Copies of this chain bind each other. A is one copy, B any other.
């Protein structure tokens, strides 16, 4: 399990603004910085920065098409983060433990 990667994922998801950005992108399927900024009380540059952070953490993938760059969700890192949580919490929680087995089974 890539160690540093999970760190970045949690750090990226740590900011509420970035979390809602991920939700927004997920809801639209894909989105650009200006699109998202249009409906938010922040600047396009602010959104662009956050998107860059999320992309660097591997949560989003940027694709430049002509003059616009579209972002979409990349679920793989989420799965790693889930794995971390399951691993930590499994001993105290039966549901998480079961979930862990379920996850492991579906891998590979």
Contacts and interface: CB of A to CB of B under 8 A. Distances in A.
Interface of A: 7, 10-16, 19, 22-23, 26, 72-76, 78-79, 81-82, 85-86, 88-93, 95-96, 98-99, 102-103, 106-107
Given A86-B82, A95-B107, A106-B99, A14 B10 contact: yes
A24 to B, nearest CB: 10
Contacts of A106: 95, 98-99
B75 A23 contact: no
Contact of A99 (B11, B89, B99): B99
The oligomer's copy count stands at 2
Contact of A23 (B15, B76, B88): B88
Contact of A92 (B10, B19, B74, B81): B74
Contacts of A75: 88-90, 92-93, 96
27 contacts: A7-B16, A10-B10, A10-B13, A10-B19, A11-B14, A11-B15, A13-B13, A23-B88, A26-B89, A74-B92, A75-B90, A76-B93, A78-B86, A78-B93, A79-B89, A79-B93, A79-B96, A82-B82, A82-B85, A82-B96, A82-B99, A95-B106, A95-B107, A98-B102, A99-B102, A99-B103, A102-B102
